[in-house]
Amino acid sequence: MGKQINVALIGNPNTGKTSVFNALTGLNQKVGNYPGITVEKKEGICKLPRGVKAHIIDLPGTYSLNASSLDENVVIELLLNKNDKDFPDVAVVVSDVENLKRNLLLFTQIKDLEIPTILVINMSDRMAYKGISLDLNYLEQQLQTKIALVSTRKNEGISDLKELITSYKELSKKPCLNASSIDPQYFGSLQKAFPNQLLYKLWLVITQDVNFGKTDRKSIEDVSNFKTKSKVDLKHLQQKETIKRYQFINDTLKKGQTIDLKSAKDLRIKLDRVLTHKVWGYLIFGVILLTIFQAIYDWSSVPMDFIDESFASLSEWVKTVLPAGAFTDLLAEGIIAGLGGIVIFIPQIAFLFLFIAILEESGYMSRVVFLMDRIMRRFGLSGKSVVPLISGTACAIPAIMATRNIESWKERLITILVTPFTTCSARLPVYLIIIALVIPEGRFLGLSYQALTLMLLYLIGFGAAVGSAYILNKILKIRSKTFFVVEMPNYKLPLPKNVALTVIEKTKAFVFGAGKIILAISIVLWFLASYGPGEQFNNAEQIVTEQFATTNLSEEELNQKIASHKLEHSFIGVTGRAIEPIIRPLGYDWKIGIAIVSSFAAREVFVGTLATIYSVGSDEEETIKNRMAGEVNPILGGPLFNFASGISLLLFYAFAMQCMSTLAIVKKETNSWKWPIYQLVIMSGFAYLVALIAYQILK
């Protein structure tokens, strides 16, 4: 059995680092968070030649070791702490062949830490297209490293990279240049004071706010006393260091890289003129959004119908095959019905993630961020706020984490507070089932009413986020000013492997994350719906039989009446009846009330809850959608899920803070319970008011 080595994958954003990570690890990867913080941690296992296994950690994108955000701090803290279990045996710096000059700044800094370092020059398939040629022998000699020329698109160079990682002990640890020559006197005295410490490591400790393991801290904790220079002087030295590094990089690339501009065929400028145009840019983005929502409906209808009918048949089959009793009822009416309420939406959620992955992989998402900055500025938000707002369409939790790269505390706080308004994938199951019930199936200009309604809900959520940001910007008295910088990556065809891995990973996270909650809640709900207090529940059969003794009900109809009576007087029925007066003005009955309360654990639980409630005591093989469509309003008559109550529900879920996980992450990010409590009270109150007005007008 070969040993396992730690490999850190490091690079600037948009260098194709994720593509290299996917090429090395495939499906042997997992995503979590760094201990104690909410920065995403991607790691995977790669089998190397000669029986060696590599534990590969994909570090957050960073431009240099001069950190300006929490993501970049994570990189520095790992590289400076030899006691960390993930400390790399070898660092793999991923660069982009078109931006080699900028990417090499980070490479030269890591080399100064005397960690064995490999340089990956990615997207090598674009070299001929861009008129670029490289003298690899010269570059390896000057940079004191080994270089892997890689094209993840054509799957070239990955085996060479694996061989280099395996032979990491043969790599030179020598720095590329002597950065301390920018101030020999200062760095000389620093080295005298700490003769056993790496000079560049000391310099980073002085200039960065980073944390270290206990052993390292003991040996370098006195270094803070060495800040003999003012902040301005330290900043000036950092600038001199950067200039010195770029002088070395320029000299190296003069001989090591040749660019024939005449042969470069670049459509990027022409495309950018159209896609970021102040009129056409927004129109194109609108058309893309419409196409996405139409495709979500059209493409997923067949698999959704199949899943819906399969779960109904499975529930009926379980009841037929297994002996009658509490366990069979729990399995058929609780677990299967509850899970069926979430599994049905896998096709639509997978398609949503598919389109988001394609937009990000192609480079178009950065154009959207740039485009939307023009609007965001008017509402007191940074253009960087658009990234959390757009990624909030997947889930508010990682979206709120993504605000950590916003330097201004005021802009970051506002973004955190308004992001939950954007329509996340957890709202999607609620929207889809209600839209299917209350919106007719006609078309307008080739687009279905249902797809248009879904897009409108997304726009309403985004509008609410931007509108509330404007109000918060006026209310919050926090002074701050920042500048918006976004990198425009080159356009490229999305790699099918990257897109597929993203869709699988995100859909799996959604299903398993929601599945655990739904399974637990389904079991609890089944118990609460299957048992009840008092005579009304225990003697339901006798009471109903006597009540309808004079009517000629069939056995099936009588059983249905008994099941309804039991449900109404079960524990869940009693709870629902207690809250019914509050929700009745919105057009909801006690069953919807229970679904709303239980969905506070996670919004998507709403459908699973109704699936469980409507399945209890019923022997008919019927889909959840048909059951909901057949529900009758006990006071007004007619369908319970009509246009008025449906629109009321859609608006309630568009604005309500129905997610305790989001509240928990807001508390963690703001380090206070004040902001999540404000969110819960204000968003829920606003949602109730809007839903009330909508129902009262439309009924």
Provide φ and ψ at 417, rounded to 5°.
Answer: -70, -30
* CB-CB contact of 370 with 488 (8 Å): yes
What is the C-alpha to C-alpha distance for residues 323 and 325, in angstroms, rounded to an integer?
A: 6
Contact 437, 628 (CB under 8 A): yes
Query: Above 90 in pLDDT, residue 647?
Result: yes
Which residues neighbour 479 within 8 Å (Cβ) at sequence distance 6 or greater? 410
CA dihedral 120, 126, 130, 133 (to 10 degrees): 50
463 CB contacts (<8 Å, ≥6 apart)?
none
pLDDT digits (tens, 9 = 90+) for 578-623: 888 999 999 888 888 888 877 776 676 677 677 666 655 454 445 6
Which among 195, 468, 488 is positioned nearest to 363, based on CA atoms? 488
- Name the H helices within 439-495: 449-475
Second CATH level (architecture) for the domain 1-264? 3-Layer(aba) Sandwich (3.40)
Mean pLDDT for the stretch of residues 456-471: 91
Q: What are the tokens at 674?
A: 């004040």
State whether residue 66 is helix, strand or coil: coil
pLDDT score at 224: 53
Q: What is each CA distance from 55 to 8, 158, 166, 543, in whole angstroms?
A: 9, 16, 12, 66
pLDDT in tens, 274-331: 888 888 988 998 888 778 777 776 787 788 888 878 888 888 898 888 888 888 888 8
What radius of gyration, in Å, describes the C-alpha atoms of the chain?
30
Q: Is 681 exposed, middle or buried (0-12, 13-18, 19+ CB in 10 A)?
A: exposed
Distance of CA 283 to the CA centre of its chain: 26
pLDDT average, residue stretch 500-509: 79
> What pLDDT shows up at residue 481?
54
pLDDT band at 91 (very low <50, low <70, confident <90, very high): very high
DSSP secondary structure of 602-623: -TTHHHHHHHHHHHTT--S---
pLDDT for 383: 67
The two structure tokens encoding residue 380:
């007191």
- Domain boundaries, given as residue ranges, for the chain: 1-264, 280-475, 515-698
Q: State the amino acid at position 149 in one-letter form.
A: L
pLDDT confidence band for 38 (50 / 70 / 90):
very low
Over range 19-31, report the average pLDDT: 79
* Edge-to-edge order in the sheet of strand 146-149: 29-33, 40-47, 53-58, 4-11, 90-96, 117-122, 146-149
In this prediction, residue 1 carries a pLDDT of: 41
pLDDT at 262 over 60: no
Confidence bin at 248 (pLDDT 50/70/90): very high
pLDDT value for 675 = 92
Quick one: pLDDT band at residue 155, thresholds 50, 70, 90? confident
Residue 68 has pLDDT above 70, yes or no: no
pLDDT at position 669 is 77
Report the distance separating Cα 125 and Cα 491, nearest Å: 14
Render pLDDT for 418-458 as a digit per residue (tens, 0 to 9). Answer: 999 988 877 887 888 889 888 888 887 777 888 889 889 98
* Dist. CA 480–CA 410, nearest whole Å: 7
DSSP-derived pairing of the beta strands 257-259 and 443-444: unpaired
pLDDT at position 685 is 94
**Short-list 576, 619, 623, 622, CA closest to 595:** 576
Task: Please name the residue that has the structure tokens 């985004």.
Answer: 462
What whole-number percentage of the chain has pLDDT above 70? Answer: 84
- Whether 6 has a pLDDT exceeding 90, the answer reads yes
Please report the sign of the dihedral spanned by the C-alpha atoms of residue 463, residue 467, residue 472, residue 473. Answer: positive
Tokens of 618: 């019923």
pLDDT at 214 over 50: no
Fill in the DSSP letter of residue 548. T
CB 346 within 8 A of CB 425: no
Query: Which pair of tokens denotes residue 673?
Result: 């319970």
176 phi and psi angles, rounded to 5 deg: -75, -30
Give the residue, 486 or 264, on which the prediction is more confident: 486
Distance CA 640, CA 73 (A): 54
Average pLDDT over residues 85-102: 91
pLDDT > 90 fraction of the chain, expressed in percent and rounded: 20
Q: Once rounded to an integer, what is the mean pLDDT over residues 143-153?
A: 90
Averaged pLDDT for residues 162-189: 89
Q: What is the mean pLDDT of the chain?
A: 80
Token pair recorded at residue 592: 């919807």
Q: Residue 636: its pLDDT value, please?
A: 66
Rounded to whole angstroms, the Cα distance separating 439 from 449 reads 7
The C-alpha atoms of residue 64 and residue 17 are separated, in whole angstroms, by: 15
Q: For residues 8 and 190, give the distance between their C-alpha atoms in angstroms, rounded to a whole number.
A: 29
Residue 100 to residue 115: CA distance in whole angstroms: 20
Contact 331, 318 (CB under 8 A): yes
Instruction: Please say whether the beta carbons of 603 and 597 come within 8 A.
Output: no
The answer to whether 140 and 172 have CB atoms below 8 angstroms apart is no
Residue 637's pLDDT band (boundaries 50, 70, 90)? low
pLDDT grade for 363, boundaries at 50, 70 and 90: confident
* Lowest-confidence pick of 216-220, 365-369, 533-537, 627-631: 216-220
Q: Dihedral angle at the C-alpha atoms of 186, 190, 191, 196, nearest 10 degrees?
A: -170
pLDDT of residue 218: 46
Mean pLDDT value across residues 335-354: 76
pLDDT band per the 50, 70, 90 thresholds, residue 510: low
